[in-house]
């Protein structure tokens, strides 16, 4: 048996996106999704993170609640998921499915895009309740 690859993690994240209520799903489709083994070194350096296994995901962009009609993005808002840290957390936890964990990380990062509070997140992601 081989470890889930980048495509497997992406498929799980897209499944989580498909499971969102319609009011959230439509805007979530406008956020790019990138899956990499680890966060790029420049990203880790900028966030002052030394251990690449400690970052499972990241939202890169401007939250909707901070955007104005004059906002002209230079690039798409993006949710990054990092396969190796996710797999390590999944193995360490041992009590959740990989799909549930990927969905949790995806929704957490999407929450940054929407400017959600923990209460808002709980309506989608049961782990926050």
- Please tell me the pTM assigned to this model: 0.87
Q: What is the pLDDT of residues 1-29, one digit of tens each?
A: 789 999 999 999 999 999 998 988 998 99
Tokens of 16: 């989580």
Beta partners for 81? 35, 57
Topology of 6-67+75-128 in CATH? Answer: Zincin-like (3.30.2010)
Regarding predicted confidence, which is higher, 57 or 76? Answer: 57
> Do 83 and 4 contact (CB within 8 A), yes or no?
yes
């Amino acid at each position: 048996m081989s470890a889930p690859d980048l495509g497997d993690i992406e498929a799980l994240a897209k499944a989580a996106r498909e499971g969102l209520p319609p009011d959230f799903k439509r805007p979530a489709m406008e956020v790019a999704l990138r899956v990499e083994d680890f966060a790029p070194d420049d990203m880790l350096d900028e966030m002052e993170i030394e251990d690449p296994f400690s970052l499972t995901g990241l939202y890169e962009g401007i939250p909707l609640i901070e955007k104005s009609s004059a906002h002209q993005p230079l690039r798409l808002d993006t949710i990054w998921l990092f396969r190796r840290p996710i797999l390590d957390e999944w193995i360490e936890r041992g009590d959740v499915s990989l799909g549930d964990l990927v969905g949790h990380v995806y929704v957490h990062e999407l929450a940054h895009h929407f400017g959600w509070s923990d209460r808002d997140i709980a309506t989608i992601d049961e782990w926050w309740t």
